[in-house]
Amino acid sequence: MFGRFLRGPEEAQAVSTIDVREAWERLSRADSEVVLIDVREPWEYRSGHAPRAVNIPLGQLATRVDEVPRDREVLLICLSGHRSAQAARLLQRLGLPRVVNIKGGITSWRLHGLPVE
């Protein structure tokens, strides 16, 4: 009962999380309308990113929120899953309910042999 009062404001709403294999499955469906946003810095994104990923760095996300579709599921990825979890909480606070963090980020993505551009 008191747990919700002890958490920080960014933890008030739970962030949905999936692993990289589930993310790839959702993205690679023929009828997929899922959006993938990579919240790493541009130089990190250029070093390799998941197919279909759009780069909106975490530090720019609040000012570029209009680029994030509100009518589709939005998957968020970073290097390890930390920044993308922050991004998910931010987007939830900004009124986007269908955001999902990809656990392990691009590091896990590569370890699982998933495609990188």
Catalytic residue IDs: 78
Cα 27 from Cα 6, distance rounded (Å)? 36
CA distances from 93 to 53, 56, 62 (A): 22, 17, 10
